[in-house]
Chains A and B, each alone.
Chain A
Amino acid sequence: MTEDFSPFLPLSPAALHILLSLAGEDRHGYGIMQEIARQSEGQYKLGPGTLYDNLQKLETQGLVEESPRPPAHDDPRRRYYRLTSFGRRVLSAEVSRLEAVVREAKVHLRTPRRAT
Chain B
Amino acid sequence: MSTPPVDDPRSASILEPGHTFASVTDKISSIVLARRTPRFWWVGFLLAFSLTMWLFAAIGYLLVRGIGVWGVNVPVGWGFAIVNFVWWIGIGHAGTLISAILLLLHQEWRTSINRFAEAMTLFAVAQAGLFPLLHLGRPWLAYWLVPYPNTMALWPQFRSPLVWDVFAVSTYATVSLLFWYVGLIPDLATLRDRAKRKFFQILYGMGALGWRGSAAHWHRYETAYLLLAGLATPLVISVHTVVSFDFTIGIIPGWHSTIFPPYFVAGAIYDGFAMVLTLAIPLRAVYGLEGFITLRHLQNMAKIMLATGLIVAYGYMIEDFMGWYSGNAFEAYTVHNRLTGPYGHYYWALMLCNILTPQLLWFRRIRSTPWILWCIAMVVNAGMWLERFVIVVTSLHRDFLPSSWGMYQGTVWDWSIFIGTIGFFIALIFLFIRFLPMISIFEMRTMVPTAEVAGEPVPAPGRIEGEV
Pairing of A with B: no
Residues of A bordering B, CB below 8 Å: none
